[in-house]
Amino acid sequence: MKSRPLNPYWLLVAALTVFAVAPLTYPGFFQADSGFLPAFNAAHLDEAPNWGRAPDPVRGEGKLPYLLVGWLADPPYRAVKWGYGLAFVLGALGIYAWTRRWLGDRGGALAAAVYTYLPWHLATVYVRGAYAEAWLWAIWPFLFWAIDRLRERRFLVATVVGLPLLAASLWTQMGLTIFLAFGLFMTICLQTRKLSAWKWAALLFFVGGVVVAVLILPLQKARIPFDEHFLYPYQLVSAAWGEGLYFQLGLAAMGLTLVAAALLPRGGPDLRQALRFWLVILLVLVLLTLPLSALVWRVIGLDDLLTYPWQLLALTGLPLAFLAGSVVRLDDRLGALPAWAGLLGLVLLASYPYLAPHFTQVDPGPEPVAMFQADGADAPQLMILEAQIAPPTALTPTLTLTLTWQAVAPVEADYTVFVHLLDAADTKVAQRDTRPCDGACPTDTWLPGAILVDRYELSLPPAAPEPDRLAVGLYVLESGERAAVVGRDDKTVYLDVP
């Protein structure tokens, strides 16, 4: 029996991810909003994904992405980079596997490139550092591939592949997956117009998911005001790049989607129906991120599934990829060389400005020295990644403490750092109280993910006893209120003097 040759488009699709994966080959880590928290979760698999954070089973991350790569490499941040890279490649291959039967090999390859290089996809990894969501981008295309097998009456394949993938998605990020269930249910109905039994099964599954969500939601902890984080329409098309988040849907993706909408009458009946379906899904998802949908969110009562409404942008990747790739099927001239190669080049070039993360070669080890959070907060805002102490000598009776800080959430307070030098009897020998960088970089200006190295010098008085350890902490100068230290009741970090 002759074996079938490997379709070269699979290799092309995998190769097209090289520019998205390339920043991960940097020898250090990158400074995303989540900082080194994903690496610490990978180092503490027994406590992941809530290491350093309060558990949030619906809105928070699931454990599966950490289990998949936690054993791959050491140090832990390298394992996380492997995970991000695998997610990029698997997501591209999944989109190609799903769309090639609709759009052909070249349409599927174009859809995979669009999906990989969507600005929000790149931001999920390199700006937000949302490790679990990055894996959702890898899982979801294969879910829709499984659903499409219903069109071929391959029910066993759809079930055996689809149900484990759905479970994996729920174990990765439950809140977004429940929203995905809407799309899955409607897709099943679209694919099984004459299979009433499957429609009823899908409906029962969907209703069961909603019931579970309703039972879970009252158990959710309070979180930031949802209504304050809707997007303005201009943010969806703005090419702004700088500090903080950006929410662009993608110049190439939106342009090709508009071309697909204009060419819609040229498609066959099945393709036209699928394109209309995905256009509606895309429009609904976009509208749900805008302020005009605030009333809808209050009515449906599902805002507790997400932390921010703009998290739904993750779901726009599927319709955008399908619609953008369809231009090749709708107009044969766009699928011929050199036009098709030009479209691939356009997708890559349009995304290139978003492939410039900020890097660091700091290796924090399996956990930080300390984590600080405001009193009453349920998650840390600041971490000490490294602490280096240069003890005093006979020639230089000055102790120097070098702290490497990282913010992992916005910091509202303008903290002062206190450094107390203690002897063996815990008597204070010397102290230094100062805002970071001698006041030049106050903590309330630190952006999530930012790493800052600061030095604190303490001069010992003559005939001072031998220094034993340092006491370090944060407080608000006006009120004297100290920041809490995770794992300690006295709100102080102690460092031994070598």
Following DSSP, what letter does each residue of 56-92 receive, concatenated? -TTTS--SHHHHHHTTT-SSHHHHHHHHHHHHHHHHH
Q: Is the dihedral of CA 185, 190, 192, 195 positive or negative?
A: positive
Q: Where are the domains of the chain?
A: 8-360, 370-496
Length of the chain: 498
Whether pLDDT at 196 is above 70: no
* Contact of 159 with 63, CB cutoff 8 Å: no
Q: In this structure, are residues 244 and 80 in contact, taking their beta carbons and an 8 Å threshold?
A: no
The pLDDT of residue 195 is 47
State whether CATH 2.40.160 applies to domain 370-496.
no
In this prediction, residue 211 carries a pLDDT of: 53
∠ Cα 389 394 400 (to 5°)? 20
Q: What angle do CA 179, 236, 119 make, to 5 degrees?
A: 80
pLDDT tier at 193, thresholds 50, 70, 90: low
20-44 tens-digit pLDDT: 999 999 988 999 999 999 999 988 8
Q: State the sign of the Cα–Cα–Cα–Cα dihedral 98, 258, 256, 21.
A: negative
Min mean pLDDT across 180-194, 232-246, 290-304, 370-384 is at 180-194
pLDDT in tens, 67-108: 888 777 678 888 999 999 999 999 999 999 999 999 999 999
112-126, 229-243, 425-439 — which one is most confidently predicted on average? 112-126
**What per-residue confidence (pLDDT) applies to 1?**
46
How much is the pLDDT for 243? 53
pTM over 0.85? The answer is yes
- Return the exposure string of 356-391: e unless at least 16 CB atoms fall within 10 Å of the residue's CB, then b: ebeebebbbbebbbbbbbbeeeebbbbbbbbbebee
Sign of CA dihedral 310, 311, 314, 319: negative
Q: pLDDT of 199-232, one tens digit each?
A: 555 555 555 555 555 555 554 555 678 888 899 9
Q: Give the model's confidence band at 119: pLDDT under 50 very low, under 70 low, under 90 confident, else very high.
A: very high
Assess contact for 436 and 471: CB atoms under 8 A.
no
Concatenated DSSP letters for 132-174?
Answer: HHHHHHHHHHHHHHHHHGGGGT-HHHHHHHHHHHHHHHHTT-H
Nearest to 411 by CA among 371, 455, 458: 371
The residue-averaged pLDDT of 449-473 equals 85
Nearest to 103 by CA among 281, 338, 349, 343: 343
Instruction: Give the tokens for residue 329.
Output: 């099927």
**455 φ, ψ (degrees, to nearest 5):** -115, 145
pLDDT of residue 202: 53
* Contact residues for 281 (Cβ-Cβ < 8 A; gap 6+): 183, 186, 318, 319
State percent of the chain over pLDDT 90: 45
Structure tokens of 78?
């390298």
Alpha-carbon gap, residue 383 to 270, rounded angstroms: 54
Distance CA 279, CA 200 (A): 25
| 344-347 long-range Cβ contacts below 8 angstroms, 24+ apart | 344/16, 344/109, 344/110, 344/113, 346/252, 347/110, 347/113, 347/114, 347/117, 347/252, 347/253
Report the C-alpha gap between 320 and 185 in whole angstroms: 19
- Find the range with the poorest average confidence among 250-254, 380-384, 484-488: 484-488
pLDDT at 260: 95
Mean pLDDT of 167-177: 90
Q: With 80 as the cut, is the pLDDT of residue 4 above it?
A: no
